[in-house]
Amino acid sequence: MRVIVIGREGQVARALAERAPAHGAKAVLLGRPRLDLADPSGIEDILRETGGDLIVNAAAYTAVDQAETEPELAEAINGIGAGVAAGAAAVMRVPFIHLSTDYVFDGSLDRPYREDDTVNPLGAYGRSKRLGEEAVAAGIADHVILRTAWIYSPFGRNFVKTMLRLAKDREEVGVVADQLGSPTSASDIADGIFTVAKNLLERPQDRALRGVFHMTGAGFASWAEFAAEIFTLSARSGGPSARVRPIMTADYPTPAKRPFNSRLDCTKLETIHGIRLPSWQTSLASCVERLIAEMRESGVS
Ligand SMILES: NC(=O)C1=CN([C@@H]2O[C@H](COP(=O)(O)OP(=O)(O)OC[C@H]3O[C@@H](n4cnc5c(N)ncnc54)[C@H](OP(=O)(O)O)[C@@H]3O)[C@@H](O)[C@H]2O)C=CC1
Ligand SMILES: Cc1cn([C@H]2C[C@H](O)[C@@H](COP(=O)(O)OP(=O)(O)O[C@H]3O[C@@H](C)C(=O)[C@@H](O)[C@H]3O)O2)c(=O)[nH]c1=O
Ligand SMILES: [Mg+2]
C-alpha cells in the first residue's frame, strides 16, 4: 500500500512515516513549500504526479489561540485546502482519510459525543475544521473523517512536551481541571489510520466503512490529570517533574474558548472498523519514556 500523506513535520505525519513499515505500507510525505494547502492551485497536480493507493490529510492549521486572530488563514488551510485535496482524490479515484477534532463540539453535553451529535464550534480553529469536514464530504464520497483529540507524540509541539519543559524550571504548574477529554497518541492514530486504509481498499463498495468516526485513546482525563500522569511517568524515568495545581478554566484565560466536555464516544469505530486504541495511560508511558531517553541522549535533561 502506497499512502500519500499531506503534511511532513506534523505529529501525525511523522507517526505515519514511522509506523508505515509495520503495516507493510509506504508513506510518501508531501509538505510545504511544494504542497501548500493555503494555495489550492497546485494541489491536484502534485498529488497526481506523486500517485498512490490512498491519500491521508495530516496537515492543518492547529494553533488554536492564534486562529482567533487569523481565522481566514485557518479556513483556507483547514476548510478550502482540505476540500481541494479531497477533490483531487476523487479525480484520482482513491480514498481520502481526513482528520478532524473534538473542538467541532461545544462541550455542553454531559456524555461522550457521538458522530451524529450536533456540532457547534466555540472558536475559529473548530469552525475551520468543521468547514473542512463539510468540504471533504462534498469533495469525495469515498472518504473517512476521523475526529480525534488531545494528540501527543515525541514529535512537534504538544501538551506533553510543554509540561516536561515547564517542569524543568518550576516546582508547580497550574493546569485546568474542568476540561475533560482523551489524550491520544499520534502513533496509535497512525496505526488506526493504516487499519482504516486497509479496510477501505479491501472493500471499495462498502458504504458503512465511509463517513465520520471518532478515534481517541481509551479513557478520559482532565488536562490536570493528564499533566499529573506525565510528571509521575517522567519522575519514574528520572526526568523532570512538578506538582500540578488544579485550576479552573476561568483562572487560565485564553483567546479561544475550549469545550468543557471533549469526550468522544468511539464505539462506532470499534464496531465498524474493528479498531480500539489503547488506554491513554498505556501509550503515554511509552511516549514519556522515549522523550526522557531522547533528552538524556541530547544532554538536556
Ligand atoms: N494536535 C492535536 O491535539 C489535534 C489535532 N487534530 C487534527 O489532526 C491533524 C494532525 O494534527 P497534528 O499532527 O497534531 O498537527 P501538527 O500541528 O503537529 O502539524 C501540522 C502539519 O500541517 C502542516 N501544515 C500547516 N499548514 C500547512 C499548509 N498551508 N500546507 C501544507 N501543510 C501545512 C504543517 O507543516 P509544517 O511542518 O510545514 O509546519 C505540519 O506538518 C490535523 O488535522 C489536526 O487538526 C485533531 C485533534 C487534536
Ligand atoms: C500550557 C498550559 C495549558 N493549560 C490549559 C490550556 C488548555 O485549556 C489546555 C490545553 O492547552 P493546549 O494549548 O496545549 O491545548 P490546545 O491547543 O487547546 O489543544 C488542542 O489542540 C487542537 C489542535 C485540537 O484539535 C484539540 O483536540 C486539542 O488537542 O491546558 C493550563 O491549564 N496550564 C498550562 O500551563
Ligand atoms: Mg496548543
Instruction: Enumerate residues 6+ apart whose C-beta is below 8 A from 271.
Output: none
Question: Coil, helix or strand for 8?
Answer: coil
Q: Provide the total of helices (H) and of strands (E) in the chain, helices listed first.
A: 10, 12
Kindly report the protein residue whose alpha carbon is nearest to atom 8 of ligand 2. Answer: 176
Instruction: Enumerate residues 6+ apart whose C-beta is below 8 A from 157.
Output: none
DSSP-derived pairing of the beta strands 211-214 and 143-148: parallel
Q: How confident is the model at residue 299, as a pLDDT? A: 77
Instruction: Enumerate residues 6+ apart whose C-beta is below 8 A from 238.
Output: 292, 296, 301
**For ligand 1, which residues put their CB under 6 angstroms from it?**
7-13, 31-32, 35-38, 58-62, 77, 99, 101, 129, 148-151, 156
Active site residue 103: no
- The phi and psi torsions of 105 (rounded to 5 degrees) equal -100, 155
Separation in Å, CA 238 to CA 164, 291, 296: 12, 11, 10
State which ligand 1 atom lies nearest to the alpha carbon of 189: 8
Map out the domains of the chain with their CATH numbers.
2-154+184-219+265-278 (3.40.50.720)
Q: How far is the CA of 216 from the centre of ligand 2 (A)?
A: 16
Residue range 35-83, pLDDT digits in tens: 999 999 999 999 999 999 999 999 999 999 999 999 999 999 999 999 9
Task: Kindly compute the dihedral angle of the four CA atoms of residues 224, 225, 226, 231, in this order, to the nearest 10 degrees.
Answer: 90
Query: Do the Cβ atoms of 100 and 145 come closer than 8 Å?
Result: yes
Q: How confident is the model at residue 300, as a pLDDT? A: 58
Kindly report the protein residue whose alpha carbon is nearest to atom 33 of ligand 2. Answer: 175
Parts of the chain with a pLDDT under 70: 300-301
Kindly report the protein residue whose alpha carbon is nearest to atom 37 of ligand 1. Answer: 9
Question: Coil, helix or strand for 65?
Answer: coil
Is 102 close to ligand 2, i.e. is its CB under 6 Å away? Answer: yes
Grid look-up 511516549 returns: 287
The pTM of the full predicted model, rounded to 2 decimals, is 0.97
Task: Provide the sign of the torsion angle of the four alpha carbons 119, 264, 261, 109, taken in this order.
Answer: positive
**CA 135/CA 27 separation, integer angstroms:** 24
